[in-house]
């Protein structure tokens, strides 16, 4: 499994895939979250393809 990207503002921290807004019957609308600076980042189309789990 590929590691997630690092935070643009905290390069020593990996980003977490925040899936709180996803679930059965909902669109796949996750985003990246940094536990250092607490910012959220939209994934790129390439990251969406690479890090989205197929059902």
14-55 pLDDT tens trace: 999 988 877 777 777 889 999 899 999 999 999 988 887 654
Residue 38's CB: how many other CB atoms inside 10 A? 8
pLDDT at 20: 81
Distance (Å) of CA 4 to CA 21, 50, 52: 19, 10, 12
Q: What is the pLDDT of residue 55?
A: 45
For the whole model, what pTM was predicted?
0.74
Question: What DSSP element (H or E) covers 31?
Answer: strand 31-33
pLDDT, residue 54, reads 53
Please, what's the b/e burial string for 7-18 (b: 16 or more CB within 10 A of its CB; e: otherwise)?
Answer: beeeeeeebeee
């Amino acid at each position: 499994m590929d590691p997630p990207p690092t935070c643009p503002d905290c390069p020593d921290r990996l980003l977490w895939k925040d899936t709180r807004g996803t679930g059965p019957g909902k669109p796949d609308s996750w985003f990246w979250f940094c536990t250092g600076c607490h910012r959220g980042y939209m994934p790129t189309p390439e990251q969406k393809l690479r890090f989205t789990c197929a059902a």
